[in-house]
Chain A
Amino acid sequence: MESVNLKVSNAPFVRSKDSIESVMYNVALALAPATVMSVYLFGMRALVLTVVCILSCIAFEWLMDKARNKPNSCLDGSALVTGLLLALNVPANLPLWMVVTGSFIAIVATKHVFGGLGYNVFNPALVARVFLLISFPAAMTSWPMPAPFSFDMMVDMETGASPLGILKTDGVQAALASLSLMDGFYGTMTGSLGETSALALLAGAVWLWYKKYITMYIPLTIMGSVFLFTGLFHLIDPGTYASPAFHMVTGGLILGAFFMATDMVTSPLSIRGQLLFGLGCGLLTAVIRLWGGYPEGISFAILIMNSFVPLIDRWDLNDRKAENNKKPEKP
């Protein structure tokens, strides 16, 4: 008994089992249905692209930890989630070197340059996606046709425009003719790897919400504000503006709202801040979709709102200070 070596530390002496790893791996798990769906729809090429994307992200994470002389964080799951999200955000036939470039932008230029996990201002996967979209517009907008269970490598695949692209260039009638809403719900339409299937994405999101890793304030305000805004213009002029239901299931709205905008690091902390953030994302998305130069706006909308997060948090902070100092403190 005398040999007992007692350690002194500060309370509490029990800790929850949650860790950065559990948060990140649960997010990755929630994205699994969408990933499986993408392989089903777009074949082996989708799987190869996803694996390359994840591995390159983890490799860049490891390199940056070495370069910055930080503890190794490449297996904490955050690079995995970034890689997975980036893969789900690009077309299945994107050249692999572009994918690796995207990983570089996400991990090095967006995350580690700002100080690594927890310090990045913008969502890494989204910055990478937007970077690729602006740098390689042709490759990023030639969407392969879904071909369920065709496990070839899609070297000479048939490509087409996305429903939102058709909407932008050819108008409502052509867009509505290109797909039924159920196609959009199940995901049998053109689009990025993981954004097509609303069903798979929602299944993962509900699970994350059930496990309390995300709250629904941001996603629901985004979906709601896009629905109301596009719905308003649809009512005014159905010939020019597509129905809100069409906007709900097409493009990256669900992926963005439930998995990208809810990124803990780049979203506000308070509920009212999250509602404001969601509203901003939703309105910007709708504005870009209806009148912008790009067919899809959720990536830009979230990135723009990311830059407002410190300001939104400051608003809470000031109110918090006022609240705490209503009465003079006793000495």
Chain B
Amino acid sequence: MKTFKTGGIHPPESKFTENTPVELMPVPKELAISLNQHLGKPAKPVVKAGSEVKKGELIGEADGFISANVHASTSGKVKSVKPHPHPGGHYAMTVFITPDGQDEWAEGLNTDPVDWHGFSKEDIIGKIKNAGIVGMGGAGFPTNVKLAPPPDKKIDTIILNGAECEPFLTADHRLMLESPEEIVEGLNIITSLFGGEARAYIGIESNKKDAIETLTRHASSKGIEVVSLKTKYPQGAEKQLINAITGRTIEPGELPFDKGCLVQNIATAVAVYEAVCKNKPLVDRVVTVSGLEIGKPKNIRALVGTSFRDISLFCGNLKESTNQIISGGPMMGKAVYTLDVPIIKTTSGMLFINNVGIEKARERTCIRCGKCVDVCPQGLAPWLLANVAQLREFDEIQLLGLANCTECGSCTYVCPSKRELVHWIKYAKALVNNRQKRKSA
């Protein structure tokens, strides 16, 4: 069975919701749709307080090359446009919508599926851009930009990422079981953009046997190869997935397209299909709601902008003992500080946990066991990066490969001294970034 070459860990899978079908969450009383749901510049609001909007209507316009459109997730009235807590931990401009309860689509959106084969390449990318699709695995890179690499880069391998290696998360798993046709069509649309030679793969970890079976049934006749991958974190990281499936290594400073590869998330493929064939903008997504502190762990299909509070109520409320709420998975997610935070296009999971460790944990000294070096999928020396970050030697740390760290958290997971290795690496990255900005300014 295939897997990536360097490092990796085996955290407990804790996939409590893998057999729970996706449940549709009703429209909440209020939606807070962030205009910053992607990598790059936040969208420009195009509505004002008081505007009436239909479902799928544009409320934020892409601002610049790396940016994405934002649409109303339901029909109703815009209550206000103001800064609001964002799952990333900061404030972002947010459009508040009071739903009218009709959930009525705007004219010409969410139509019956049409055949996409007649569409030109520009049409398809235009539709994806208009629908505001971004990478739904977590990074949120605008998909239309990713699908149009520089013309001198030849893409010969297209990989759909069904690894879902984060513990707890099962959103992609359920999607693979419940919407295999849409996934395969979405992948075919993406592949068609790169001519005839491009090979398409779907990489799935072997702990999702049923998904491998379902997709093999639907995909093999379409020239798509479903690859069963050995269960290992971080299989779903772009560079690791490419290495697992093609054996190619993305060297420091390179992007996947430098090695002829393009990786898309499962949910993104479905969104691409819906945008191209049904003219449906990205206004909802499947979210795994899990953790030991939530009443009923579920996979739900929720509208973008639904608050964590509404979702926790829908899933049987959270227990008193909850002390951390995480947006995303437990390895790379972010802790949110308020239940008012809404879900955005990249929120694949929401975990309610009681992390007693964070109060008790004390960073001890490094005992040089070398485990962080063994597990680092990028072949770095995390203990050293953390030490150098603490010393604020920012020239040295760049020489040590700071930029190659993908922040997967494997090193922190294994550290017996409970050192916050990733924390220090992120700290160094932020300061190095600031310094470069100051220099160029």
Contact = CB atoms under 8 A, between A and B. Distances in A.
B413 A16 contact: yes
Given A269-B370, A269-B381, A15 B418 contact: yes
A20 interface: yes
Contact of A14 (B167, B401, B422, B426): B167
B368 A14 contact: no
B333 A327 contact: no
A24 B345 CA distance: 45
Contacts of B361: 15
A10 B337 CA distance: 12
Given A9-B358, A265-B367, A326-B252, A16 B414 contact: yes
A301 B328 CA distance: 51
B422 to A, nearest CB: 6
Contact count band on B: 35 or more
Interface in A1-44: 1, 3-16, 18-20, 22-23
A270 interface: yes
Contact count band on A: 35 or more
B296 to A, nearest CB: 15
B390 interface: no
Interface string A155-191: 0000000000000000000000000000000000000
A224 interface: no
Interface stretch (A113-121, A142-150, A288-296): A113-121
A324 interface: yes
Contact of B373 (A1, A270, A324, A331): A270
B66 interface: no
Nearest to A330: B253
A9 B422 contact: no
SS class, residues of chain A in contact with chain B: loop
Contacts of A20: 364, 367, 416-417
Given A118-B368, A324-B401, A13 B333 contact: yes
Contacts of A118: 364-368, 417
A18 B10 CA distance: 13
A30 B330 CA distance: 34
In the A-B complex, the 9 residue pairs with the closest CB atoms: A324-B401, A12-B409, A118-B365, A10-B423, A18-B416, A13-B330, A8-B335, A269-B370, A327-B253
Interface of A: 1, 3-16, 18-20, 22-23, 71, 76, 115-119, 264-265, 267, 269-270, 317, 320-321, 323-331
Given A10-B335, A12-B413, A18-B414, 20 more contacts: A1-B317, A3-B320, A4-B318, A4-B322, A6-B336, A6-B337, A9-B324, A9-B335, A11-B330, A12-B331, A12-B332, A12-B422, A18-B415, A320-B380, A321-B401, A324-B380, A324-B399, A325-B252, A325-B401, A331-B436
20 contacts: A6-B325, A6-B336, A6-B338, A8-B89, A11-B422, A12-B331, A12-B413, A13-B326, A13-B333, A13-B353, A264-B369, A264-B370, A269-B368, A317-B381, A321-B401, A326-B251, A327-B253, A328-B253, A330-B253, A331-B436
